[in-house]
Chains A and B, each alone.
Chain A
């Protein structure tokens, strides 16, 4: 899965945290603070060429939700 790898690598660089994996969530990840999260959203938007709506951003609280959201967007396009 290319998308999964790409998301993980963007998450790792945004959070400066090599421990991010597919099970990472807001609750189990110390480096997942509001500033790093903002950086993540900016990076995901630019690297995937997508745009999240504010309502969607509020729901991005785990690797899985990010993956699903991006998958949805690429399906539609």
Chain B
């Protein structure tokens, strides 16, 4: 099962039990289509500016819409709700952040209710286990951009695996219930109608609680049946006379009350209802009965029954989440989902390209070109050392290397700002000039700013510049490394011509005279 995870911070460790590909931070545009499931896991970003946090949370909706317009319709999309990991409001009465989170989470629930292939995971259920001040570890936050506390890794893994299981699990259809010591305390045949325990005092109240809970399952469409070794008349008598008993004959679609083998009874139930054994859960307090039935009907689900009546609520919760959870996805759901035409978010984004541009232009991106100088040269060198993924040639340089290029090269850094703040110098190009030709020696972008097509705009800016300088030809290379595969077709997309292509290396050229370049000034502001 291949997962694709959209994320805005370092979360790899939390999903290391999955086969997963990760988006760049905050990138919702670049996404491969060949994954089985798509996860949206955005952490609450711990910042001090409340307005910024709110506008960021508000932008998540649009990002989700974009994702939904991009991924195949029949694939499962699993968004996580957003939860706070710290409370850094400077005004305690300011609950705008909580409100924004509440609105976003409701948006997810609404999407889920309207699309059967969207399953929202409530992150709050996980965080409920930890006090607020334990949800973030500031050391790891600062050293590696982790918005979650890595000491919770293994408990997150376990919790998440259960969530996925409950999403995958086909919901069971039928519950087969024993009676004595299961739906009430005591044995009817021995203790009599007045001797069994059900009602307002312990343990009778625990059994009553269990009956109430099972009645809720019935309301959700679970078929209730009885399989009990008793005299049928005794039980019918009890149901008629006992006022505290909640589940009565009318609540069960089939009652097998006899002294026959339970496995045989259950098999009959399965045939009469025409449902498979794998859709049936059998609940019985007697471990010997459970064992026998399990042996003869291995497809049947037979959970362990609690030793003490006060554990019944917990037991109910287990069977509910494990077998009858509404968080379930069946083949039917999946097929149905393709028919759903009320997929409003997708429809809204049918005209993909324009909408992506609209999305980007709403980020209010400002690009400013900085030529190399004494104060930014260290940052330039550092970027060549650290950038792995979006790096066409992966050449590593020191300050003095770069200094030595200044004479016959154009060296441009790119500062990227958007409405959320200043990312600093996050892209770099080194172009050496010889005669009338330009050679792109290095071209790289920090992964922080990927997903906004800035790389194309930056390159177009450079090509335009080279053309204005009167140069004729531009030569470029892609040198393959373990990490830069995402740039393999970068120059192809810009209409460079290939002059050499092998597994490890691609060489290109572009005649500047034959091409015109137009900057997208409606989307990006270039200074």
Contacts and interface: CB of A to CB of B under 8 A. Distances in A.
Interface of A: 34-35, 38-39, 42, 45-46, 54, 57
B139 A39 contact: no
Given A38-B144, A39-B13, A54 B150 contact: no
Contacts of A42: 13, 140, 150-151, 153
B382 to A, nearest CB: 14
Nearest to B22: A35
Contacts of B139: 54
Given A35-B12, A38-B146, A54-B143, 20 more contacts: A34-B144, A35-B10, A35-B13, A38-B10, A38-B13, A38-B144, A38-B150, A39-B13, A39-B16, A39-B150, A39-B153, A42-B13, A42-B140, A42-B150, A42-B151, A42-B153, A45-B151, A54-B139, A54-B142, A57-B143
B401 to A, nearest CB: 20
Nearest to B482: A30
A35 B10 CA distance: 9
Nearest to A46: B151
Contacts of B140: 38, 42
A39 B146 CA distance: 12
Contacts of A39: 13, 16, 150, 153
A38 B144 CA distance: 8
Interface of B: 10, 12-13, 16, 139-140, 142-144, 146, 150-151, 153
- Interface residue SS majority, chain A: helix
A57 B150 CA distance: 15
A35 B388 CA distance: 14
A6 to B, nearest CB: 18
A42 B14 CA distance: 12
Contacts of A38: 10, 13, 140, 144, 146, 150
B144 to A, nearest CB: 6
A35 B146 CA distance: 11
B305 to A, nearest CB: 36
Contacts of B16: 39
Contacts of B12: 35
A46 B152 CA distance: 11
A39 B12 CA distance: 10
A48 B150 CA distance: 16
A54 B140 CA distance: 9
Nearest to B139: A54
A4 to B, nearest CB: 24
Contacts of B146: 38
10 contacts: A35-B12, A35-B13, A38-B144, A38-B146, A39-B150, A42-B151, A45-B151, A46-B151, A54-B139, A54-B143
A16 to B, nearest CB: 9
A42 B150 CA distance: 7
A57 B12 CA distance: 19
A72 to B, nearest CB: 19
A32 B382 CA distance: 21
A75 to B, nearest CB: 22
Nearest to A42: B150
Nearest to A38: B144
B155 to A, nearest CB: 12
Nearest to B483: A33
Contacts of A46: 151
